Structure formats: structure tokens, C-alpha cells
Structure 1
Amino acid sequence: MEQEIDMNELGEKIVKVLKTIFDPEIPVDIYELGLIYDVFVNENREVKILMTLTSPNCPVAETLPMEIQEKVASIDMVKDVEIELTFEPAWSKDLMSEEAKLELGML
């Protein structure tokens, strides 16, 4: 049970870190923007993040995943981080949170 609590705490810490990373072209963090499709954490505290970009030609296609990997790896409880980039399904504005839509004046 104690490890379960640790895993939940670790998941919360990962999301908190993801919310500090912003798309340089849109003033919304990548989590609220809907670029993070899933976060997996195994019992060895290895993290895999499934994410996308707003478009395959995104100017930060090379730097953004590296920034995410470095920031998530800096969390004490994380042992390893793998970033998997996918374009299936393609990102759309429908993936944005209500908070992000409000921030961008879309509501």
C-alpha cells in the first residue's frame, strides 16, 4: 500500500513538472495544451511519456522532448525517463483543457 501512495505522489509530481513547460508559440503549458497523451510509471520508477506536438513541423520538435526528459528526470523519485513522440492521433484544439481554452480566449 505504501508503494501505491508513492506512485500516486510521483505521478502528481510529474504532472506538476509538465505544467511548468510551455509551448513557445502558445502561452499555455504542454499538459493543459493536450500535448501529453499519457504518462506511465512502473514499479522501478521508470517513466514513459507519450506525447505529440501541435504539428510534425513544430519548431521545437527536437528541443521540447529533451526539455521534458531533463525536467522529469530531475525529480528525486524518478530513475529513468523515456519520451515517445507520436502523431496518432493528431493533435487538435479538442485536446486542450477548458483552462487552456479559457486562457486563449476560445471559450
Structure 2
Amino acid sequence: MEVPGATGDTALRREDVIRVLDGCYDPCCEDRRISVVDMGLVEGVEVGGGRVGIRLLLTSGWCPFAARLMETIRERVGRLPGVEEVEVEVVWDPVWSPERMSEAAREKLRLPLERLLPLREARLGRGGGR
């Protein structure tokens, strides 16, 4: 996506947009406070004048919350001073993969061994290890 008039001389900066995106959550990850930035969903951000273009990856083409997520991003980025228009475009190349996640996101999604072992023991005790 190309934002006409995109230059580096505007008061609105790409870093400002990224900071706002760091507070936007896919509804599936909101309870763990994993932002779209930490999930690796942001493929690109362009700022030009009062226009912001955001290229967004989805973890799946079947994501039931995509429209809600895009609306949240438009709304929150649109609150930044100087923003007149926000365009969010879903892109499929590259394909999202777990390698795109930040280490912080990986840690939040990791199940600690101390929680996993009792589940394993309960499973073995009830189901005979199946």
C-alpha cells in the first residue's frame, strides 16, 4: 500500500502509530495482553500527511474477529493528533507463522511445566495414558 505524500517530515511519526498498535489486541489474545505488534501481525506502517496505511497479516484466513480487529485499529490510530484517514489492508504475503511472534508473546503463550505435569498425571490416572 502506498500512502500518497508519504514523507518523513510530518509531525505524525511511524513510531507513534506503532506505539498505538502495541495497545491493540486480537480478541483471541487480549486476555493474555499480546498485542498485534507482539503477535507479528503488523507487516508495514506508512505515514504521510494525515494519512496512515497499515498492512496487517492474519494468523488465519478464517479469523472470525478480523473485522473487529481492523475497526479497533482504525479507531485507535485515528485518535492520534493529525490523523485524518486510516487505511488497514490485510495482506497474505508473507504468510503469518509463529516465528513472527516476539519472545514476550511466546512466553505468555507457553504453558509452564508445573501446570502441565498435574494435567498429564490426571490424564494418565483416568485414561490409562491414551
Paired residues, number: 101
1:99 is matched with which residue: 83, 90, 104?
Answer: 104
Deviations 1:36-74 (A, max 9, x none): 1010012x1311000011101001121111110111011
Deviation, structure 1 residue 4: 3.7
Q: What TM-score, normalized to structure 1?
A: 0.83
Which residue in the other structure is 1:21 paired with?
Answer: 24
TM-score (norm 2): 0.70
5+ residue gaps, structure 1, are none
Aligned to 1:51: 56
Identity of aligned residues (%): 33
Please tell me the residue identity of whatever aligns with 1:37: E
Matching residue of 2:115: none
Aligned match of 1:64: 69
Which one has the largest radius of gyration?
2
Q: What's the RMSD between the two structures over aligned residues? A: 1.8
